[in-house]
Amino acid sequence: MFKRKPFSRKLVAASVAISAFACGAGTAYAQQQVDFILNWVPGGDHAPYYYAKKLGWYKDAGIELNIEPGKGSALATQKVGAGANPIGLADLGGALVGRGKGAQVVAVYNVYANSPQGMYWLKSSGITGVKDFVGKKIGNPAADGARTMWPALAKANGIDPKSVTWVNIDANAKLAALKAKSIDVTTSFYNIHHIFQRELGDDLGFLAWRDAGLNPYGNSIIVNADYLKSNRDTVAGFVKVTQKAFAACVADPKPCVEALVEANGALKFDNELENWGLVEVLMSDKFAREVALGYFDAKRMQDDYALVRDYIGVSEPYDIKDAYTNEFLDRSIKMTK
């Protein structure tokens, strides 16, 4: 089973100096409405957006932020690509697939430097790994990003992507369906691993995609390309506030999770705090620690594009350099060493 590495909450000095954010105190900005669509319903991994909104940081940057719950990365990519939402959160691999199908999206901030995707099953079923999924039923929502990227995982492990049957189930029904054995396998992000562990105990079967030969960038903030061209200042403000918020939540997660729970009454503080702790594991790589929090490495982006092209297919090939940018990041804000 994947073991979480110890994680320090002390940010480097440059990261702590985030109060010198470009939007100075007392500066007046015309407010621009931004409908930001999440990849899924609010959870611990979304705490920084709610924290920054509560403290008025987006308003200070001239942004009247509306946070819209999502129904999967595929839907978020479609909506941002079509311009229905100017900014969204989606699994980057799926966003690259979507761009190849005409969704004009540009990634501007990386949240998950490590793939959050995982496969879950019951050990008592006899399944031990991906090769045992052949002939089995995998249940998850129709618009889930794992479905988009599944062909890459399957091919990387030497099985036919079509050798499994996908079953449409609601995200909240995954555990119940697994326990009832109406499905054999399900998918989930690592940041809610603790829930599966608590519910399944010693019968928990788990495989992190990053441990199965596939570690593309995960959740990233994407922007509609036309919106980016005509609203660069707004996008720059959104990215810098968000980067500042993620750094603040690493330094002290409790007020961030409190803001999340206040805005979404059905959530439980202790559960979402644990969720956030797992998010920190996914956020950290050498580029987040040494270059900037939220940074896209050019070589990794080339590799992710090749992965999508070779394993899934790109309907309309494009230059990966046009699909992302690091220009809005504050290079002084980093993860821990």
Q: Is the pLDDT of residue 149 over 90?
A: no
Count of domains for the chain: 2
Domain of residue 193: give its range. Answer: 117-211
Tokens representing residue 30 in the block? 């015309």
Summary mean pLDDT of the chain: 90
**pLDDT score at 272:** 96
Whether 330 maps to a domain, the answer reads no
Residue 105 and residue 238 in one domain: yes
Q: Is the pLDDT of residue 291 over 90?
A: yes
Q: Is the pLDDT of residue 96 over 60?
A: yes
Residue 27 and residue 140 in one domain: no
Spell out the residues 6+ positions from residue 305 whose beta carbon is closer than 8 angstroms to its own.
Answer: 96, 314, 320, 323
Residue 243 and residue 187 in one domain: no
Do residues 311 and 152 make contact, with C-beta atoms less than 8 angstroms apart? Answer: yes
74 burial type by CB count under 10 A (0-12 exposed, 13-18 middle, 19+ buried): buried
The larger pLDDT score, comparing residue 24 to residue 92, is at 92
Whether 332 maps to a domain, the answer reads no
Whether 5 maps to a domain, the answer reads no
pLDDT-based confidence at residue 30 (cuts at 50, 70, 90): confident
Q: Which of 211, 228, 262 is the last residue of a domain?
A: 211
The larger pLDDT score, comparing residue 146 to residue 329, is at 329
Q: Which of 190, 211, 232 is the last residue of a domain?
A: 211
CATH code where residue 301 lies? 3.40.190.10
Q: Is the pLDDT of residue 98 over 70?
A: yes
Residue 121 and residue 110 in one domain: no
Whether 231 maps to a domain, the answer reads yes
Do residues 63 and 46 make contact, with C-beta atoms less than 8 angstroms apart? Answer: no
pLDDT-based confidence at residue 191 (cuts at 50, 70, 90): confident
**pLDDT score at 108:** 98
Residue 98 and residue 237 in one domain: yes
222: phi then psi, degrees, rounded to nearest 5: -115, 150
Task: To the nearest 10°, report the CA torsion of 262, 266, 269, 274.
Answer: -130
CA R_g for the chain: 19
Q: What percent of the chain has pLDDT over 90?
A: 80
Whether 167 maps to a domain, the answer reads yes
Residue 19 and residue 102 in one domain: yes
Do residues 200 and 122 make contact, with C-beta atoms less than 8 angstroms apart? Answer: yes
Say how far residue 278 (Cα) sits from the centre of its chain: 12
The larger pLDDT score, comparing residue 193 to residue 5, is at 193
* pLDDT tens digits for range 158-167: 999 999 999 9
Q: Is the pLDDT of residue 12 over 60?
A: no
Whether 159 maps to a domain, the answer reads yes
Whose tokens are 């999508």? That residue is 308
52: phi then psi, degrees, rounded to nearest 5: -65, -35
**pLDDT score at 214:** 86
Residue 191 and residue 239 in one domain: no
| Mean pLDDT of all residues in 37-65 | 97
Residue 171 and residue 61 in one domain: no
Do residues 196 and 120 make contact, with C-beta atoms less than 8 angstroms apart? Answer: yes
Neighbouring CB atoms inside 10 A of 299's CB total 8
Residue 167 and residue 300 in one domain: no
Residue 123 and residue 207 in one domain: yes
Q: Which of 164, 191, 211 is the last residue of a domain?
A: 211
Say how far residue 13 (Cα) sits from the centre of its chain: 26
